Amino acid sequence: MKGLTSKFKAVGALMTLALILSGCGEEFLSALRPQGQGASDILSLMILSIAVMMFVFVVVMVIYVFVILKFRQKKGQEDFIPEQVEGSHTLETLWTVVPIFLILILAVPTVQYTFSLVDTSPQVSAEGEEDQIWINVTGKQYWWHFEYDGMDVTTSQELYIPTDRRVFLSLHSEDVIHSFWVPTLQGKIDVNPTGNRNEIWIDAEKEGVYWGKCAEFCGPSHSLMDFKVVAVSPGEFEQWVKDMRNIDPEATPESEVAAAGQEVFANNCMSCHANGTSPNKIGPNVSNFGDRERIAGVLEYNKENLIEWIETKGKDMKPGNLMTSAAYDLSDEELEQVAEYLMSLSPSEITPENANDNEYIESDLSDLFVDEEKDESSQEKSEEESEEDSEEDSDSN
Ligand code: CUA
């Protein structure tokens, strides 16, 4: 009876585990439900290797069962020794060649994908080379910083990208080794200190908010080093970039409490945290804090959590975080004001809600790259003009 109870307990535990693990199969988090080309490629490799392993397993089991049945000791054959096959050339060749063949089936696509998944050269289509969106990613204990190259946009913790095109990331760390991983979109890539930069691309086939993780043990809050990828349609992304580059950090918030908070923030927090495109990244950039999905990457977004975070500097909410050494002491009223101010920071009409509203706005994003091109073309034009001028000059001479 006791044995039966423990069996029930074991089955119960397994069922609970299955229920918990089934929660991992979400399309915003699971590598088994890819939403981007990179993750799809990786899943196809997983399926290929499982298929090869299953083939080996089935063949071995069939031979095993066959041999046990066929060559088992029969009555009256107690002293019979069957024919011995050691040194058989046929068998030796067979079990050398077949594994080599299987390893080749695994190795060729694996090596191919190893290179293509981090190939950051521009995509070329019939219209020519595509303009590349490059984002400089910095990993720090325990948060992420994003700078959009050539776009004058800086943000932290939530990475906005357009759907339907590759976005290129150049990653490095300012302290220890981290690993950047958005399971539904791409594989992991190490984020190294000491000047080494790694590059990778990510893409999202459809809009959504995808969860990102740090995948390299980096300290006590490693498992809390989460971030989000907010994939919006290209037109919405374009709007977001335009709004984000026009932030006026000095603009006074509408609410009086938030306005008071702005002052408290300026006097106590600005040495580490920036609002707008300032390069200061000692602490996370707060430009669009009001649109964040989470506080500190993991906590539910509400005022109580935010106040507790500011008051305790996240000491217990994210153990080991570097803010704990910040020297400030705010009154309850000031805490409330700063929280109100931070939650009022919403410079763009594009927020994570746009990633979930199924509204798709087209754009080839050419407006975002126009500055460079315009500069070049206007430069060319002025060169042409000056050539014409000099021709005219020489004509008149
Ligand atoms: Cu950063 Cu783990």
β-bridge pairing 227-232 and 158-162? parallel
Give the model's confidence band at 372: pLDDT under 50 very low, under 70 low, under 90 confident, else very high. low
Does the residue 342 lie in any domain? yes
Does the residue 59 lie in any domain? no
pLDDT for 18 equals 79
What is the distance in A from the centroid of ligand 1 to the CA of 218?
4
What is the distance in A from the centroid of ligand 1 to the CA of 194?
16
Q: How high is the mean pLDDT of the chain?
A: 89
Query: Do the Cβ atoms of 43 and 31 come closer than 8 Å?
Result: yes
Domain that holds residue 322: 256-352
Tally of domains within the chain = 1
Does the residue 297 lie in any domain? yes
Of 149-163, 172-186, 270-284, 374-388, the one with minimum mean pLDDT is 374-388
Atom of ligand 1 nearest to the CA of 219: 2
Beta strands in 47-177 (DSSP E): 124-125, 128-129, 133-140, 143-148, 153-156, 158-162, 167-173
Does the residue 331 lie in any domain? yes
Average pLDDT, integer, range 173-177: 96
What is the distance in A from the centroid of ligand 1 to the CA of 35?
23
Kindly tell me if the per-residue pLDDT of 29 is higher than 90.
no
Does the residue 269 lie in any domain? yes
Place of tokens 């890819």: 34
Does the residue 392 lie in any domain? no
Does the residue 311 lie in any domain? yes
What is the distance in A from the centroid of ligand 1 to the CA of 176?
8
pLDDT for 24 equals 64
Q: Which residue has the higher pLDDT, 21 or 304?
A: 304
- Nearest-CA residue for ligand 1 atom 1 is 178
Tens-place pLDDT, residues 53-86: 999 999 999 999 999 998 888 888 888 888 888 8
Kindly tell me if the per-residue pLDDT of 395 is higher than 60.
no
Alpha-carbon radius of gyration of the chain: 29
Does the residue 89 lie in any domain? no
CA gap 324, 312 in Å, rounded: 8
- Kindly list the protein residues whose Cβ atom lies closer than 6 A to any atom of ligand 1: 139, 142, 178, 214, 216-218, 222, 225
What is the distance in A from the centroid of ligand 1 to the CA of 129?
35
Q: Which two tokens stand for residue 391?
A: 């021709």
CA gap 360, 350 in Å, rounded: 12
Atom of ligand 1 nearest to the CA of 216: 2
Question: What is the CATH number for 305?
Answer: 2.60.40.420
Of 142-151, 210-219, 282-291, 318-327, the one with minimum mean pLDDT is 318-327
pLDDT for 97 equals 96
Q: Which two tokens stand for residue 158?
A: 């939530």
Kindly tell me if the per-residue pLDDT of 311 is higher than 50.
yes
